[in-house]
Structure 1
Amino acid sequence: MHQTVLIILSLLLGTSCQSNTKNERAARNSPDKEEIVKPEEQELQKYETAYFASGCFWCVEAIFESVKGVKEVVSGYSGGTQKNPKYEQVAAGKTKHAETVQVYYDPSVISFTALVQVFFGSHDPTTLNRQGPDHGPQYRSIAFYKTEEEKKIIESYIKALEDHDVFNGRTITTQVTKFASFYKAEEYHQDFERKNPNNPYIKAVSIPRLNRFKENFKDYLKDDARH
């Protein structure tokens, strides 16, 4: 019911994760609401990476950014075969990519298993090719793995969710996919929620989704995300 209300509200506001001309222009030109200091590429090499797709990457990026042990999150595209895809192509469903986040994390602080819990706990993995008001294969649910151990962790967690009937009989449609490549999205998509807090989609969909996650995963939050 709550998700239905969000969908209706989003439709009334004419919002979706897909950038129309007006939204894209605002995203490109909007000044940052806060100074965002990004880590250097050399520093990021010290961290492990994980990759997840669960709907609009504006939302997913903000969720993982709030998790302790996560150093950086990058929005991009994965799960397809075309090299160097552009947002307009992905959004139109012309490539096989999904909107994906690259998560740099410190395994001494948070485990891959915990990141998988965050992934499944922050979206509905039973809605095929849809998340909230956004629909199409580019918004499908994918848990990527780089090793057989990561694959085992993901599959075991899915089995546990099914055994405990967490989703009330609904089938989990999440793809468990071997990671192949990741393409960083255009710069205006990076930290979109933090840079555009007054964007209608952010206010109607992203922030409520982030707040629901925070309410359910308080122990996983960074200190500065506990508000």
Structure 2
Amino acid sequence: MKIIKSVFTFMTIFFLISCLGFSKKEEVRKATFIQTKETKVAYFASGCFWCVEAIFESVKGVKEAVSGYAGGHTLNPTYKLIGTGNTGHSETVAVYYNPTKVSFETLVTVYFGSHDPTTVNGQHPDYGSQYRSIAFYSNDKEKNIIENTISKLNKDIYKGKIATEVIQHTKFYEAEEYHQDFERRNPNQGYVKAVSVPRLNKFKKKFPELLKKNGH
């Protein structure tokens, strides 16, 4: 009986502090940002997209970050399907940025500086292929920037242990509306308080020079 109770307690805590533990019945999708002539888009996956979205939106030059799914084989994936780990997709964020104010290279620095790229299939406390680390590129220049960054980090810091996949971007599926700006709209949610906010604050402390001033 004690074992059953302990397992139940563990599962309850897991879902309270897991990105997978939050869901809604509706699967509503709607456009949250329209690309303009002044913006480019970069795509990154590094664990729960609630965390990744909030980090990139704090960077000056970034207009918007949109949560979604990419890197897999399933057409029109949903949050429920993603949770099975069988779609091939990873929770991904589309970063809309002004290249005159922030470079793709800087975004790559933000990406590798805001998660543990040596973790295979996950970022604590979320594990599974849907949380794996992927840096997407849209052209050869972006691919070279990513690969050169990985080579340098592997040599200087991670000793060849970086597990980040480098994949050509093909299709991005925007996530359901309730996932967008999740951290900002749900400041008292358990996962946000326990994981998202600490991860964001850690990034801010590490890269104060990259942050927006007064939210702009």
| TM norm structure 2 | 0.87
Identity %: 54
Q: Give the CA RMSD over aligned residues.
A: 2.4
Distance, in Å, in 1 between the alignment partners of 2:211 and 2:26 is 27
**1:203 Cα offset (Å):** 0.2
**1:56 Cα offset (Å):** 0.1
Distance, in Å, in 2 between the alignment partners of 1:146 and 1:13 is 35
Distance, in Å, in 2 between the alignment partners of 1:171 and 1:219 is 28
1:114-138 CA distance string (max 9 Å, x none): 0000000000000100101100000
Q: How does 1:114-193 map to 2 (within 5 A)?
A: 114-164=106-156, 166-167=157-158, 169=159, 171-193=161-183
Alpha-carbon spacing, 1:225–1:208, altered in 2? closer, same or farther (3 Å): farther
* Correspondence for 1:58: 50
1:151-197 CA distance string (max 9 Å, x none): 00000001111121x13x36000000000100000000000000000
- The aligned amino acid for 1:16 is S
**1:44 Cα offset (Å):** 3.5
SS of residue in 2 equivalent to 1:173: coil
**1:13 Cα offset (Å):** 7.7
Distance, in Å, in 1 between the alignment partners of 2:33 and 2:91 is 23
**1:25 Cα offset (Å):** 4.5
Alpha-carbon spacing, 1:224–1:27, altered in 2? closer, same or farther (3 Å): farther
1:205 pairs with 195, 201, 205, which one? 195
Structure 2: runs of 5 or more not aligned: 1-9
Structure 1 residue 15 corresponds to structure 2 residue 17: yes
Distance, in Å, in 2 between the alignment partners of 1:26 and 1:211 is 31
SS of residue in 2 equivalent to 1:49: strand
CA contact 1:44–1:104 (8 Å) conserved in 2:
no
Distance, in Å, in 1 between the alignment partners of 2:209 and 2:181 is 23
* Correspondence for 2:5: none
**1:46 Cα offset (Å):** 3.0
The number of residue pairs the alignment matches comes to 203
CA contact 1:11–1:133 (8 Å) conserved in 2:
no
| TM norm structure 1 | 0.83
* Correspondence for 2:3: none
CA contact 1:77–1:100 (8 Å) conserved in 2:
yes
